[in-house]
Amino acid sequence: MKLTDSLAEQALLEQLIDDTKPPVPRDGVRLDYLLMTPFRYSASNPWGSRFRRPFAETGVFYAAGLPRTAIAEAVFHRLRFFAESPATPWPQNPGEYTAFAVDLDAGQAIDVATLPAADAVAVLAPDSYEAGQALGDAARAAGIDVIRYRSVRDPDGGDNVAVLSPGAFAAKAPVDRQSWRIHFDRNGARAICEAPRSSLAFGRDAFESDPRMAGFVWDR
């Protein structure tokens, strides 16, 4: 809006910007951008994730069964940034985030908990995604749309899901939203939702099982 004088000009500018982005996958055209984005940018994304190899042609939409699990995942990955940037000071104000819910209708799904114990342990390794990426490849080849697995970031061990196909969404847009504020400081992280009223706290030891958090500089 700082660059335009009207809604029409703003819409035109946004369309010009959108035309420079990767094309939307055919089966993701119907989806809201919040649901479609992980599939649109996968091939240009050099970073792998638990069930997606770097530069994979097909993306993965990650979600959690409960807001607290999603918040734990978000807090962990935010702390990873600070772990790799020890001189960066804590932000003075809380960050504002939106948690949103989606409806899924998977044709076929797999639960990591049903795998042989050794395989499940490998897939859920906190700092290695090799086994998970191999499972993601095998699941796609078998026509599986969703992988259910335990969060290794949530201290309560909540469930996550990895959506492998845009066709697994039953609704084309989020069906509910919550606003959260997350504050980071030398004691850890605190997250607060105003409606419905809820709060979460993650102390210094919340994510110590991940070796990448060793030597984390809390006093900054």
Residue 75, pLDDT score: 98
Give the residue numbers spanning the domain of 149: 7-33+52-213
Question: How many residues in the chain?
Answer: 220
The reply to whether 2 falls in a domain is: no
In tens digits, what is the pLDDT along the chain, a chain of 220 residues?
899 999 999 999 999 999 999 999 999 999 999 999 999 999 999 999 999 999 999 999 999 999 999 999 999 999 999 999 999 999 999 999 999 999 999 989 999 999 999 999 999 999 999 999 999 999 999 999 999 999 999 999 999 999 999 999 999 999 999 999 999 999 999 999 998 999 999 999 999 999 999 999 999 9
The reply to whether 172 falls in a domain is: yes
The reply to whether 67 falls in a domain is: yes
* Furthest CA-CA distance within the chain: 60
Cα 62 to its chain centre, rounded Å, is 5
The reply to whether 47 falls in a domain is: no
Residue 10, pLDDT score: 96
The reply to whether 219 falls in a domain is: no
60, burial (CB in 10 Å: exposed 0-12, middle 13-18, buried 19+) = buried
The reply to whether 126 falls in a domain is: yes
- Structural domain total, the chain: 1
Residue 82, pLDDT score: 97
The reply to whether 179 falls in a domain is: yes
The reply to whether 40 falls in a domain is: no
What is the spatial distance between Cα 135 and Cα 151, in angstroms, rounded to a whole number?
A: 16
Residues 6+ apart with CB under 8 A from 85: none
